Amino acid sequence: MSLTASRTELGADLALEMYRRMTLIRLFEEQANELYRSAKMPGLTHLYIGEEAIAVGVCSALRREDWITSTHRGHGHCLAKGAEVGRMFAELLGKEAGYCRGKGGSMHIADHENGNLGANAIVGGSTGIATGAAFSAKRRGTDQVAVCFFGEGALGQGLLYEVMNIASLWTLPVIYVCENNQYNEYTHYLEATAGEILARPRAFGIEAREVDGQDVRAVYGQTAELVERARGGGGPAFLLCNTYRYHGHHVGDVDRAYYRTKEEEDLWRSERDPLALHGTWLEEQRLATPETLKNTELEARAEIGAGLAFALEAPFPDPSEVTEDVYA
C-alpha cells in the first residue's frame, strides 16, 4: 500500500504498514551487518537498528513527491521513503544495478524517484540541501515539503544555524528532524552539546518539538502536524527524536565498553525497542495477532532474501564507467 497520508490520525492499515516497514529496515540492516562480517561488502556501513521508528514515523507522514535528505546512517530513511531492497543491497556491494550504479555505496544512496535527495557522508552536509529544496518548492509554487534528517552530532556544525535562520526568515517548508541517538561516534552528546537542543531552533523562531523516537505513532503524529503546517505556509519546524543505536557507530565498532555500557545497550533493546513496542500496541488494539506479526516478518524476510540474491548475482560496473557522470 502507499504511505500517502495527509491526515494526522492513524488508520489500521497505516499502523500495520508502519510495522512492516520497520521490520524490513531491521532485517535489511541485520543482513548488511552479515555482509560486512562475511567480508562480502566493501568498506564499512552505519546501521540504523534501534532507530527505525523515526524514519518510518516521519516518512509515513510524507507524500512520495516530498523530499528528504539523509545521513551516513541512511538505509532506514531510504527504505522508509520507498526504496527497493534489491537495488539498495546492490549499491552496498558496488554493483551496476545499485541506486547509484555502484558509485555511491552505503553512504551516498539517492533515490530521486521517491524524493530521496541522498544520504551524506559529511555530518550536517545536507542541511543546506534540504533547506534549498524547500525554497525551491515554495518558489515553484508546489506544496512539497522537505525533511532534513540529521544526527545530534550535526548540532556542532555551523551550517545548520545559517540555514535555520534563513528558513525561518523566508518561511520555508522544511522540517529539521534531529535523531538524537545519544552518541557522536564514540562521545556522549552531552560532552559535545551545550545548553538545550530545542532552544537552538526556538532562537530562530522555529516551531520546535520533542518526541519519543522509539514510538512510531508519536513520531508519525507529530510529523503529520508539522508537515500540514509547513504545507499550509506555516514555515519550518524542528523535531527532536530521542533514540538509540543498538550497534556500534559503524559495523566495525564492536568493542564499545570504553564509551558505553552493555547494560545501557541491553536496557534500550529490552525496554525501548520500537518494533516490540508497536507490535504490542497492535495486538492490544486487536489490529494484529502474534501470527499476523510473524507473517509480516516472514514476508519481509522473503523480500530481503530475494533482494540480497539479486544483488549478489548482479555484475559490477564495467571499469570504463569510472569516467562517466562527472559532468551532466
Partner 1 sequence: MPELTFAQAVNQALAEELRRDDTVFVIGEDVAEAGTPFKVLAGLVDEFGPERVLDSPISEPGITGLGVGAAVTGMRPVVDIMFGDFLTLVMDQLANQAAKTHYMSGGKLKVPLTLRTTMGATRRSAAQHSQSLHAWVAHVPGLKVVLPSTPADAKGLLKTAIRDDNPVVFIEDKMDYAVKGEVPDGEYTIPFGVADVKREGEDVTIVATSSMVRVALAAAEQLETEGISAEVIDPRTLVPLDRDALIASAEKTGRAIVVDEGHQSYGASAELAAVIAERAFYSLDAPVRRLGAMDVPVPFSPPLEDETVPTPETVAAAARQLCGRT
Catalog residues that contact partner 1 under the rule CB under 8 A.
42-44, 94-95, 100-108, 120-125, 153-158, 184-187, 191-193, 258-259, 316-317, 319, 321-323, 326
- 71-90 residues in contact with ligand TPP (CB under 6 A) are 72-73
Partner interacting with residue 327 (select from partner 1, ligand TPP, none; CB below 5-8 Å by kind): none
Report the residue from 28, 36, 183, 220 that binds ligand TPP according to the rule CB under 6 A. 183
Report the residue from 57, 86, 98, 153 that binds ligand TPP according to the rule CB under 6 A. 153
Report the residue from 2, 12, 122, 325 that binds ligand TPP according to the rule CB under 6 A. 122
Report the residue from 184, 222, 242, 243 that binds ligand TPP according to the rule CB under 6 A. 184
Three cell numbers written together for 325: 557522470
Nearest to 181 by CA among 160, 217, 154, 162: 154
- Note whether 6 and 232 are within 8 A (CB): no
Compute how many residues bind ligand TPP; rule: CB under 6 A: 14
CB of 187 to ligand TPP, least distance (A): 8
- 37-76 residues in contact with ligand TPP (CB under 6 A) are 72-73
CB of 162 to ligand TPP, least distance (A): 15
Kindly write down the DSSP assignment for every residue of 49-102, as one continuous string.
TT-HHHHHHHHTTS-TTSEEE--SS-HHHHHHTT--HHHHHHHHTT-TTSTTTT
Three cell numbers written together for 203: 532562537
Nearest to 56 by CA among 174, 228, 223: 223
C-alpha 136/C-alpha 143 separation (Å) is: 10
Q: Does 243 sit near ligand TPP (CB under 6 A)? A: no
Q: How far is CA 305 from CA 28, 41, 246, 312, in A?
A: 9, 16, 23, 11
| Residue whose CB is less far from ligand TPP, 46 or 278 | 46
Residues that bind ligand TPP (CB under 6 A): 72-73, 121-123, 151-154, 181, 183-185, 249
